[in-house]
Amino acid sequence: MTCTWGSRETLTTNFSLYYWYENRSPVVECKHYLQDQGVSVGCRFNQSEIVQFQPFRVRVNASLDGKTLEIPSERMELQDLVKPEAPVNLTIHNLSSNQLQLTWSSPYPKAQCLEHAVKYKSNKDTTWTEHKVKGEIFSFPSVDYEKYYTFYVRSKINSYCGSTQLWSEWSVPVVWGNNATSEGTAEEQLHWFWIHTVLIPITSCLLLLVLVILLVRMERVWVIFMPRIPNPSKNFDELFITHKGNFQEWTGVPKDVVESFKPNYNESVCYVSELPPKESYEPFWGSTDQLLAVPGASAGTREHGPHKNSYVGA
């Protein structure tokens, strides 16, 4: 901790500083003065001399013309006056094809008492973007490989360990992306380029091949356990589509074989008619009743004069 009260150009006399903690220790003079060409301009306190969460008071005495002037100070809380040193060791890691992770460390011994701010900007941005971070890790979810980014980090005491608005100075910047000069960043970009252009396509093809083989094997197993029901309709597609229902063309039977199955005989027509009646008709065998077979006549009896003739139509 340092306590300053001016510079050599503004001071015309030497000052001495005394400090103490309320209800704790006696008044003690500064052991490590800050000098500017022989003039005391401040006091430096070692860590062993600092007690946080205890009210702190200082008194500055000025010697002028043989007289001592006492300049009292107000009551102060040291935890509210801490200004941490700037973070160091900023490092960028590639988590995936479009995600970055920024890490750093702080010289302040109590890391749990710090909160941080990260600001970044690409070469195509006009303003800085700032995010508050509790830990010493910041994830940048989306990056553009056509840009390069500049990152800064600063720290201050959080609300659990003090009440202050004193931020540290911004850290030394770290740069990532296209046109970046960091050798480690270039190696990481080459590494990810090899992964995206070679490893990922080959791995995808191998996985696809394995899936095809598994599907083929599963199809065979499925056919064994669940055989398909045959569908005979597909066997007649050629008959109705190609040959348009011509069974002879579909089966390939020769024409002479087909003709041999057709009937090749004719039956003559036989006409049957009835003889007209005649008055002078007499049977040549006499007057005795006889049966007469007449083609085309119906069975019956007809009288001719005094005689009766019976006949049967055949």
Per-residue model confidence (pLDDT) at position 37: 78
How buried is 102 (Cβ within 10 angstroms: 0-12 exposed, 13-18 middle, 19+ buried)? buried
Q: Determine the distance from the C-alpha atom of residue 221 to the mean position of all C-alpha atoms in its chain, rounded to a whole number.
A: 33
Per-residue model confidence (pLDDT) at position 154: 95
Per-residue model confidence (pLDDT) at position 264: 67
Per-residue model confidence (pLDDT) at position 173: 92
Per-residue model confidence (pLDDT) at position 297: 44
pTM: 0.48
| 45-86 per-position pLDDT tens digit | 998 888 878 888 888 888 777 777 888 787 888 888 888 899
Each residue's pLDDT expressed in tens, for the chain with a length of 314 residues: 888 887 666 667 778 889 988 877 788 899 999 888 778 888 999 988 888 788 888 888 887 777 778 887 878 888 888 888 999 999 998 887 778 899 999 998 888 999 999 999 988 888 999 999 988 999 987 778 788 889 999 999 998 888 888 999 999 999 988 655 444 445 555 666 677 677 888 888 888 888 888 777 776 666 666 666 766 656 666 666 676 666 666 666 676 766 676 666 677 777 787 777 766 555 545 444 444 444 444 444 444 444 444 444 44
Per-residue model confidence (pLDDT) at position 115: 93
Contacts within 8 Å (CB) and 24+ apart, 88-92: 88/171, 88/172, 90/151, 90/153, 90/171, 90/172, 90/173, 90/174, 91/174, 91/184, 92/151, 92/174, 92/176, 92/182, 92/185, 92/188
